Amino acid sequence: MKKLWSVALGLSLLLCGCTPTAREPDQLDLVAVLGVDGGGPVILYGVGRGDTQQPVRAEAQGETFLSARERLPWSGERELALTNVEHLVVGPDADLAAVLYGILEDKELGASAHVWFSAKGAQELLEGGGDPVGQLELLLRQGVSSPTVIEVLAGLCDHGTAPLPRLYWTGEKLEAGEAVLWQQRVELEQGERMENWGD
Amino acid sequence: MGLFEHAGAVPPPHPRQEPRIEAPLTADGIAQVFEGCADFGRRTLYLNQDPTRPVEALFIVGQVRNERASDYVLRPLTQNRALGEAVDLDHAFDLLAKGGVYPLAVSVRDRADQVVFDLIDGWTALFFPGKNQVLTLMTATEEKRSVSSPENEPDVKGARDAFVESVRTNTSLVRRRLRAPSLKIKEHKVGRQSVTPVDVVYLDGIANPELAQEVGRRVSALDVDTLVMTGTLEQYLVDEASTAFPMTAYTERPDRFCAGLAEGRVGVLVDGIPMGWLFPATLDSFFRTGQDRSTNWAVASALSLVRWLCAFITLFLPGLYVAAVLYHPELIPQRLTQSIIAAKADVPFSTLGEVLVMLVAFEVLQEAGLRLPASIGQTVSILGGLVVGSAAVEAKLVSPAVLVIVAIAGIAGYTAPSQDFAGALRIWRFLTTLCAAVLGLVGLVLAGMGLVWRLAGLESFGVPYLTPFVTVGGQRVQRAPVLRRPLPWIKTRPGYLRGENRRNQG
Q: Which of A19, A24, A86 sits opposite B334 (nearest CB)?
A: A86
Dihedral angle, C-alpha B80, B82, B85, B90, nearest 10 ° = -100
Residue of A nearest to B348 (CA): A26
List CB contacts (< 8 A) between A14 and chain B: 438
What 3-state DSSP class applies to B270? strand
Nearest to A109 by CA among A76, A68, A77, A162: A68
Domain that holds residue A61: 29-198
Is B495 inside any structural domain? no
Claim to verify: residue B275 and residue B321 sit in the same structural domain: no
Q: Which of A19, A32, A81 sits opposite B439 (nearest CB)?
A: A19
Q: Do B341 and A25 make contact, defined as CB atoms within 8 angstroms?
A: yes
Residue B468 pLDDT: 84
Rounded to an integer, the average pLDDT of B420-430 is 93
Helix runs in B70-158, H state only: 75-79, 81-84, 89-95, 112-120
Is A149 inside any structural domain? yes
In the stretch 7-46 of chain A, residues with CB closer than 8 A to chain B read: 14, 19-26, 28, 30, 32
Residue A197 pLDDT: 40
Residue B324 pLDDT: 93
Is B410 inside any structural domain? yes
Q: Is A137 part of the contact surface with chain B (CB cutoff 8 Å)?
A: no
Rounded to an integer, the average pLDDT of B406-435 is 92
List CB contacts (< 8 A) between A83 and chain B: 328-330, 337
Claim to verify: residue B184 and residue B129 sit in the same structural domain: no
Rounded to an integer, the average pLDDT of A161-182 is 86
Q: Do B439 and A110 make contact, defined as CB atoms within 8 angstroms?
A: no
Q: Report helix, strand and coil shares of chain A as percent, to nearest 5.
A: 30, 30, 40
Claim to verify: residue B444 and residue B412 sit in the same structural domain: yes
Residue B478 reports pLDDT greater than 70: no
What is the β-pairing status of strands A166-170 and A74-75? Answer: unpaired
Is A21 inside any structural domain? no
Lowest mean pLDDT among A37-51, A124-138, B119-133: A37-51
Residue B457 reports pLDDT greater than 50: yes
Rounded to the nearest angstrom, the minimum Cα separation between A134 and chain B is: 13
List CB contacts (< 8 A) between B345 and chain A: 26, 51
Residue B137 reports pLDDT greater than 90: yes
Claim to verify: residue B334 and residue B382 sit in the same structural domain: yes
User: pLDDT category, B434, cuts 50, 70, 90?
Assistant: very high
Residue B135 pLDDT: 94
Cα A1 to the chain's mean position, in Å?
Answer: 50
Residue A18 pLDDT: 67
Q: Is A108 part of the contact surface with chain B (CB cutoff 8 Å)?
A: yes
Given B247, B281, B315, the domain boundary residue is B281
Is B473 inside any structural domain? no
Q: Do B347 and A51 make contact, defined as CB atoms within 8 angstroms?
A: no
Q: Do B337 and A25 make contact, defined as CB atoms within 8 angstroms?
A: yes
Is B269 inside any structural domain? yes
Q: How far apart are CA B78 and CA B115, in angstroms?
A: 22
Residue A158 pLDDT: 87
Is B465 inside any structural domain? no
Number of C-beta neighbours around residue B366 at 10 A = 17
Residue A173 pLDDT: 85
* Structure confidence by residue, pLDDT tens digits, A41-68: 788 888 877 655 667 788 888 888 888 8
Residues B366, B378: contact at Cβ < 8 Å?
no
Given B120, B137, B154, the domain boundary residue is B137
> Higher-confidence residue: B288 or B5?
B288
Residue B292 reports pLDDT greater than 70: yes
Average pLDDT, chain B: 88
Residue B258 pLDDT: 95
User: Among B325, B327, B330, which would you mutate to test the A interface (most chain A Cβ atoms within 10 Å of its Cβ)?
Assistant: B330
| B122 Cβ contact partners less than 8 Å away, ≥ 6 residues apart | B60, B63, B64, B65, B138, B139, B140, B141
Residue B7 pLDDT: 61
Nearest to B408 by CA among B352, B445, B362: B362
Measure CA of the first residue to CA of the last residue in chain A; give whole Å. 71
Residue A70 pLDDT: 83
What 3-state DSSP class applies to A81? strand
Is A10 inside any structural domain? no
Is A130 inside any structural domain? yes
Is B153 inside any structural domain? no
List CB contacts (< 8 A) between A32 and chain B: 334
Residue A74 pLDDT: 67
List CB contacts (< 8 A) between A49 and chain B: 338
Domain that holds residue B225: 167-281
Claim to verify: residue B319 and residue B274 sit in the same structural domain: no
Q: How far apart are CA B65 and CA B138, in angstroms?
A: 10
User: pLDDT category, B445, cuts 50, 70, 90?
Assistant: very high
Residue B311 reports pLDDT greater than 90: yes
Nearest to B284 by CA among B467, B458, B418, B498: B467
Which range is most confident: A82-86, B403-407, B498-502? B403-407
**Beta bridge mates, B270:** B198
Nearest to B167 by CA among B190, B138, B197: B197
* Structure confidence by residue, pLDDT tens digits, A70-91: 887 766 667 888 888 889 999 8
**Domain count of chain B?**
3
Residues B446, B434: contact at Cβ < 8 Å?
no
**Backbone torsions φ then ψ of A70, nearest 5 degrees:** -65, -25
What 3-state DSSP class applies to B38? coil
Is B471 inside any structural domain? no
Claim to verify: residue B56 and residue B184 sit in the same structural domain: no
List CB contacts (< 8 A) between B351 and chain A: 24-25
**Backbone torsions φ then ψ of B251, nearest 5 degrees:** -150, 155
List CB contacts (< 8 A) between B326 and chain A: 22-25
Residue B12 reports pLDDT greater than 90: no
* Structure confidence by residue, pLDDT tens digits, B320-329: 999 999 998 8
Is B448 inside any structural domain? yes
Claim to verify: residue B237 and residue B97 sit in the same structural domain: no
Burial B469-484 (b: 16+ CB within 10 A, else e): bbebeeeebebebeeb
Q: Do A23 and B329 make contact, defined as CB atoms within 8 angstroms?
A: yes
Given B99, B117, B137, the domain boundary residue is B137
Rounded to an integer, the average pLDDT of B211-220 is 94
Q: How far is CA B179 from CA B172, B201, B202, B293, B313, in A?
A: 10, 13, 12, 20, 42
Residues B477, B495: contact at Cβ < 8 Å?
yes
Rounded to an integer, the average pLDDT of B210-233 is 90
Residues B40, B34: contact at Cβ < 8 Å?
yes
List CB contacts (< 8 A) between B442 and chain A: 20
User: pLDDT category, B373, cuts 50, 70, 90?
Assistant: confident
Claim to verify: residue B196 and residue B328 sit in the same structural domain: no
Nearest to B27 by CA among B54, B50, B49: B54
ipTM over 0.95: no
Q: Is A114 part of the contact surface with chain B (CB cutoff 8 Å)?
A: no
Is A2 inside any structural domain? no
Claim to verify: residue B452 and residue B313 sit in the same structural domain: yes
User: Among B334, B336, B341, B354, which would you mutate to test the A interface (most chain A Cβ atoms within 10 Å of its Cβ)?
Assistant: B341
| A43 Cβ contact partners less than 8 Å away, ≥ 6 residues apart | A36, A37, A59, A60, A61, A68, A122, A123
* Structure confidence by residue, pLDDT tens digits, B174-213: 999 999 999 999 999 998 888 999 999 999 999 999 999 9
User: Among A13, A14, A84, which would you mutate to test the B interface (most chain B Cβ atoms within 10 Å of its Cβ)?
Assistant: A84
Claim to verify: residue B64 and residue B206 sit in the same structural domain: no
Looking at residue A169, the DSSP 8-state letter turns out to be E
Lowest mean pLDDT among B101-110, B113-122, B386-395, B410-419: B386-395
**Domain count of chain A?**
1
Q: How far apart are CA B62 and CA B471, in angstroms?
A: 54
Q: Is A87 part of the contact surface with chain B (CB cutoff 8 Å)?
A: no
In the stretch 326-385 of chain B, residues with CB closer than 8 A to chain A read: 326-330, 334, 337-338, 340-342, 344-345, 347, 350-351
Is A22 inside any structural domain? no
Q: How far apart are CA B275 and CA B273, in angstroms?
A: 6
Q: Do A83 and B328 make contact, defined as CB atoms within 8 angstroms?
A: yes
**Backbone torsions φ then ψ of B324, nearest 5 degrees:** -65, -40
Residue A76 pLDDT: 64
Residue B447 reports pLDDT greater than 50: yes
Q: How far apart are CA A190 and CA A162, in angstroms?
A: 16
Half-sphere exposure of B294 (CA within 13 A, CB side): 12
Q: How far apart are CA A97 and CA A157, in angstroms?
A: 9
Q: Do A84 and B347 make contact, defined as CB atoms within 8 angstroms?
A: no
Looking at residue B492, the DSSP 8-state letter turns out to be B
In the stretch 42-71 of chain A, residues with CB closer than 8 A to chain B read: 49, 51
